[in-house]
Structure 1
Amino acid sequence: MGSITAYEIAAGKRYRVRWRDDQQKQVEKKGFRTKKDAELYLAHTEVSRSNGSYTDPGEARITVGALGVEWLRNKKHALKASSFSSLNTSWRVYVLPRWGDVRIGDIRASHVEQWIRELSEGTATTTRTKSAKAGASPRSASVVYRALGVLAGILDTAVRDGRIPRNVARGAQNLPPKQSQKPRRYLTHSEVVRLAEATNNDTHRTLILLLSYCGLRWSEAIGMHVSDIIFPRHRIQVQRAAVEVEGKIVLGTPKNWERRLVPFPAFLEEPLEQLCRGKRADDLVFTDLQGKHLRRAKTQHGVNSWFTTALDLADIERLTPHDLRHTAASLAISSGANVKAVQRMLGHKSAAMTLDTYADLFDDDLADVAERMNQGGLNANVARLWET
């Protein structure tokens, strides 16, 4: 059992609660104005100790900044470079300026919701405050969710460590609505050919065809080695990715760590052989003029690149190289490929993920299924059930 003692300060009598934690270390909390408040606190402490929900008030004095450093180290160990870069940027730009010096035990749900509102309005304290002062710059829903996710992740660790009883960053009531995705633009066969034709060299031309017909991610395509192409079988071994992170190329495994074999159409055999001619097995297939990894083509409005130039010449609206991966899915499905084949081609974790991602592409398949079912029923003379 704990104890309650009174003491005097300039403002009058106060009460102190003392008890021993699970390690028999004496702990105290003081400043209670009435003995009843102190008794209620002590009773709550005893109950929480008995049911396993007890947390040491002293452990809650650690700041978000102190916990965040170790949390980020653990994430860096577990995540791919590109994913960690997004978390680190969110931590550095949004979370640390607001919460770095705040003790985790002092954070209230209302404080978190105020921060969400300020982020959405563009008035939150960030490392980019200078630009915000020129006029509020609202942050997108994805930026808000990512920043909140970082704070919530840190507090999740604090809960598991027994520093705080619950995570007040979970269950916020004022999260901004996620914007619905704009309809995807899938290129037709003729548009893909027109786009490839509009490029200015064989490397870019072959790359566009590869992305559009094999569904590789940009990082997987530019990370390909000559030895990854199995010409007799018309297969590509996707086993590495070259991701551009903060201006540097970082080599790693494909997304989701899924290595896979992807078929390529026979018409790509000759252009791929031309790019591989004279190269060693471990040389890159697609390179810039210096023989290094190709950098992702810029597609922002107001920026010109070889890719946007080709789009303009081909009279195709603004797309990104990643949209060619969606085109590959569309062309495969329209050619009659089943969902499992498309899943393996794209490297999705499951067929369900492929269906969720490209549900719009399977609408026509459902119509075909209904038509085939109808024909099957007619062939079995289902109409005789209604004959009198």
Structure 2
Amino acid sequence: MATLTTDHSRPKPYEVRWSWYDADGKRHSRKKRFVTKKSAESHRRKVTVEREHDPQQGKESFREWAAKFTKSKEGKVSAAYLRKINGILKSSVLPEFGSTRVDQINTVDVQEYLDRIQSERNLTPATVRHHWLVVSGVLKYAVKRKAIPLNPATGVELPTDKALGRIKPEAVFLTPGEVAKLAAAMAEQDPTTPYALMVTFMAYTGLRASEVSGLNIDDVDTMRRVLHVRRTRSKVRGGWEVSSTKNSTSRRVRLPEWLALDLAAYLGAHPNRKEPSAPLWPGRKIHDAQRFKGGKGGLDWSRPWDRDAFYKRHFKPALAAAGLPERMRLHDLRHTCASILQSAGVPIEHISKQLGHRNVVVTQAIYAHVFDTDTANFMDTVAAPPSTTGKASVTQLA
């Protein structure tokens, strides 16, 4: 509790008094005088926040509060995000802070931890930020539950790409011709798979990899040339995890006529075409003997497509064979879609819906350089100002 009193007969007329009880129930009190009311009010608010917590809870370890924090997130965040939090806690944060009392962690401790993992592991600023978010999340929850007065993680300085001299990898945008070249290399690499069509499909629909894994047979309507994006699938230990889309809303993706025809032919030969809930794109079944020899195994039409295995065993070799940038990621096929649609004159509003962005602003922010009109072409159309003499107006400089 803190109170503010005023006595204008004194040089410092504003006095703040506050009191609190320690863990043994003993009451303590303090007072402090200020020249201005503003500074006195600021101090009163500060001590009020600092004293409104339970010292007993502050004695609990960071590990105990981490368990409470993750428990509080269940049902409020996606299973994939919660799994990511637990992974960072287990691998990095708990070995550092697990046994430390939560009220004994200060800003310097958090700063030194982040600096150390960045330098020793050469982590990117984005990865360091993920670790900070986990630490800060636990401490923020402890503040919310009155265990500590303030979150010590709020005062740290996070690394930046500019400060570390890092250059972010540039997105790769393929032309339609390069998409065809990549698909041809994929078909030549293994003509028994539908992966050549799948690569073309990804470049012209702009789906995220987890959305491609999440597609079922009944999500494709070739008659109406519409694709229904309803779910995502992510591979986890022991199987697959099905979740909603990134923005938790389903969407309809329009298909070009030629792609709808190709998909219709593909579905006509699909082994599980009569099972609506069967995965649209097949995965690979790798036996142990093949796994150790680096084999690719046969197609498994009952198993969803596995992005990581596909990227390593199929996509990377095809890039090399096609002479395309080997730094290209699967996500760059999504960027390629945005570029192709923009070049075809599709309005940004439709591109945004096709890609499943929350709004057009997000699309503009991600693809600013794609939608940036060539200013030079417009500048050539700008006329010079009229001259009263009929000649260009030129100022002679000495």
TM-score computed with the length of structure 1 as normaliser: 0.77
Change (3 A) 1:62 1:146: same
Q: How is 1:325-344 mapped onto 2 (pairs within 5 angstroms)? A: 325-344=334-353
Whether the 8 Å CA contact 1:214–1:264 is kept in 2: the answer is: yes
Q: How is 1:203-214 mapped onto 2 (pairs within 5 angstroms)? A: 203-214=194-205
**d(CA) in 2 for partners of 1:41 and 1:324?**
64
**d(CA) in 2 for partners of 1:299 and 1:273?**
23
Aligned to 1:4: none
Aligned to 1:248: 239
**d(CA) in 1 for partners of 2:95 and 2:338?**
42
SS in 1 for 2:304: coil
Residue 161 (structure 1) aligned with residue 145 (structure 2): yes
Change (3 A) 1:387 1:75: farther
**d(CA) in 1 for partners of 2:360 and 2:388?**
40
Structure 1 position 120, deviation (Å): 1.7
Change (3 A) 1:258 1:69: same
Aligned to 2:275: 280
SS in 2 for 1:262: strand
Range moving further from structure 2, 52-61 or 311-320: 52-61
Structure 1 position 78, deviation (Å): 2.1
Whether the 8 Å CA contact 1:210–1:264 is kept in 2: the answer is: no
Aligned length: 337
Structure 1 position 245, deviation (Å): 3.1
Structure 1 position 27, deviation (Å): 2.1
Whether the 8 Å CA contact 1:63–1:103 is kept in 2: the answer is: yes
Amino acid at match of 1:209: T
**d(CA) in 1 for partners of 2:197 and 2:172?**
21
**d(CA) in 1 for partners of 2:111 and 2:388?**
63
SS in 1 for 2:341: helix
Structure 1 position 99, deviation (Å): 0.9
Residue 293 (structure 1) aligned with residue 304 (structure 2): yes
Amino acid at match of 2:330: P
Structure 1 position 85, deviation (Å): 2.3
Amino acid at match of 1:73: K
Whether the 8 Å CA contact 1:275–1:285 is kept in 2: the answer is: no
Whether the 8 Å CA contact 2:49–2:149 is kept in 1: the answer is: no
Range moving further from structure 2, 347-356 or 82-91: 82-91
Aligned to 2:210: 219
Amino acid at match of 2:339: S
Change (3 A) 1:57 1:207: same
Whether the 8 Å CA contact 1:297–1:321 is kept in 2: the answer is: no
**d(CA) in 2 for partners of 1:186 and 1:83?**
29
Gaps of 5+ in 1: 2-17, 30-37, 123-136
Q: How is 1:71-220 mapped onto 2 (pairs within 5 angstroms)? A: 71-122=69-120, 137-173=121-157, 175-178=158-161, 179-199=166-186, 200-201=190-191, 202-220=193-211
Whether the 8 Å CA contact 2:118–2:128 is kept in 1: the answer is: yes
TM-score computed with the length of structure 2 as normaliser: 0.75
SS in 2 for 1:274: helix
User: 1:183-220, CA deviations, whole angstroms, 9 ceiling, x for partnerless residues?
Assistant: 21100000000111112235101110110001011111
Whether the 8 Å CA contact 1:226–1:281 is kept in 2: the answer is: yes
Whether the 8 Å CA contact 2:227–2:254 is kept in 1: the answer is: yes
**d(CA) in 2 for partners of 1:341 and 1:366?**
21
Which structure has more helix as a fraction of its residues? 1
Gaps of 5+ in 2: 2-18, 34-42, 284-298, 391-398
Q: What do you get for the CA RMSD once the two structures are aligned?
A: 3.2
Amino acid at match of 1:340: E
Q: Percent identity at matched positions?
A: 24
Change (3 A) 1:273 1:219: same
Whether the 8 Å CA contact 2:59–2:103 is kept in 1: the answer is: yes
**d(CA) in 2 for partners of 1:192 and 1:213?**
9
